[in-house]
Structures are given as structure tokens and as C-alpha cells.
Amino acid sequence: MVINGTTIAPGENKQVVFSQYELPSQSVIETPAYVFRSVNAGPCLLLSAGMHGEETNGIETLREVLKHESLQNLLCGTVIIIPIINVVSFIFNQRELPGGRDLNRCFPGTRNGSLGSRMAHDIMHNILPVIDFGVDFHTGGAKINNYPQLRCVFDEPKHLELAKLFAPPFIINSPYRDGSFRVEASKRGKIILVFEAGESLRFNNTAINEGLQGCLRLMKNLNMIAPVDLPQSRTILIGKDKWVRASEAGLFRTHKKFGAYFEKDQVLGTISDPYNKSEVNLIAPDNGFIIGINNQPVVHVGDALLHIGIEK
């Protein structure tokens, strides 16, 4: 296996730089990938995080995977770990790149394009060709907290098959978005699943643990690592999802437990005015699960408040 000119032989574990670029100060930012190869042939799995620089749960999850002893003795195949794809945004605690571009809308990128376009190109050119499939780790943006969930396209049977080996609490049918890593990988026959858990700039132990356990389950189910003791998991398939939005402006509270099941017409939350003159209830439009919550208490009319998932 060769990544950006560095050869990694079977049985070798190596750190390789797959992308580098210069800041205006002339400092060079190098983006490392950690490659673990077994002597035995097998699948090549990519685990990546930090596409959005403020999504720290994924970065912490992959740090936990990196320190797990099972990686040192892979039974077969290759695991490539990129804890921080977008180092520049990570340094600044930002979602976007300098200039405001979203790296996950820059794919497939070009060699001579903007910073985001070059970073996307380096992943497509140096990493994607050597992998078979991967999981890209994200968290909710803004003040959105996502219950641990894998997103994939249900119409593509192999996606769901792979997602079930990860066995997260929820697997959600999620169409492709233009310019994303996921869609451009699929055009080249590679499956990228997106794991979403927690919110930006805040560690969430449930999110990090579910991410770590999912990675270990996936590698165990692919016979890449020796059996590890993992808690029993139940996965719910979500065929449809929608947002319950604010019908009024005011202070928002939810009464439901995160990830919990609810039934149609139940009260999911309340919006009150700050002077306690009025209060409106948010009513469940269907039976479903709370798969995402807006943690911002002050809301405007139309704000997305609760992301609900309807079981397939």
C-alpha cells in the first residue's frame, strides 16, 4: 500500500502525511493518517473525524480507538485513522475553513483549487483509492445535539449491511448531499457512512462511547480484531426523519428523554414567553424517537427544535 509516496507493507503500522499546505505565516500544516496493517489480507477501513473543526466528539472517539490495544495486532486487513481531517478549522475551533467554506461541500476538489478544494482533493487522491469503506465522524452543528446515529442510504443494500455491523442506537436513511465526501466516494464505488453524535465543542460521553464501541464492533464483525467485550446493543432503523419547528418565539423546553420513543399527539416540549403570559405545547406529529435536540433555550419562530425519527 502506498499513501502519498510512503509505502506501508503488510504487518507495518505507520504514520503518514497525506496532505500539507502553507498558512499565510509560512507555517506548514501537515495532516497525518495512522495506518495499521495486518500481515493477513482483508478489508481496508477508514475512520475519519474533524471534517468540521469544532466537532470534537469524533476526534476524541478516534483518539480512544487509536489507544485501543486491538489495533496493534490486527487479524486481517488495514485500518486507516485520520483523527483530524481539517486541521486549520480545528485550531480555530471553527466549523468552516478560513473564508467561510464548508470542507464537506468542497468534494471532490481539485489540485489547484481553493484551500478546501485542495484538502478534499488530497483525501480523494491519496486516501480514497486505498480504502474499501469508511466511517466519517461528525456531531450536530450550531446548538444541535445528535443522539448517536449512523447515516446511510437505505436503497444501497451494502450500506445498511455495513451500518448494522457498527450497530449504533439508530441507523438513519439519509440522502446524499452534493459536494460531500460521502457522495463523491459513492461515485467511485466506496461506501462512507456518517456517524453523528453529540454537539460541537462539547464532549459527550454517550457519543464518544457509542462511537468507540461502534468502531470495535465493526472491526470485530469484519474479523479484523480479536473478540472484545462490548455491551449488548439494539439498533433502530429510521426510515424517515423530520424537524419539529418553533410555532412561536420564546423559551423552549423539552419534556422527553433524549433518544426516547414517543407517540403521536404527545407533548414533546413547550415554548413560553419570558414573562409567563403564554405557553404553547409542541405536539408529536407521529410516533417516533427523539434523534436530535436544539439545546438553545431562546428560539425564534421556525427554528428547528427537535429532530424526530420514524421507525422503518
Q: Which is nearer to Zn ion, 45 or 85 (CB)?
A: 85
Asked if 52 touches Zn ion (CB under 5 A), the answer is: yes
Tell me the residue nearest to Zn ion as measured from the CB.
138
Q: Which is nearer to Zn ion, 37 or 95 (CB)?
A: 95
The residues in 53-82 that bind Zn ion, with binding defined as CB under 5 A, are 55
Subset of 283-312 contacting Zn ion (CB under 5 A):
none
Nearer to Zn ion, 52 or 217 (CB): 52
CA dihedral of 59, 152, 38, 216, whole degrees rounded to 10 = 60
Order of all β-strands in the sheet with 267-272:
279-283, 267-272, 250-254, 298-299
In angstroms, give the least distance from the CB of 23 to Zn ion.
23
Shortest Å, Cβ 229 to Zn ion? 30
Name the grid cell of 122: 488530497
Question: For Zn ion, which is the closer residue by CB, 107 or 262?
Answer: 107
* Alpha carbon distance 66, 62 (integer Å): 6
267's CB contacts (< 8 A; 6+ apart) are 255, 281, 282, 283, 284
Cell numbers linked to 307 = 429532530
- Smallest Cα–Cα separation from 148: which of 305, 291, 293? 291
Contact flags string 130-149 toward Zn ion, x per CB under 5 A: --------x-----------
Q: Which residues pair with residue 308 across a beta bridge?
A: 242, 290
Give least dist CB 287 to Zn ion, A: 29
Task: Tell me how many residues contact Zn ion (CB under 5 A).
Answer: 3
H/E segment holding residue 73: none
Q: Which residues bind Zn ion (CB under 5 A)?
A: 52, 55, 138
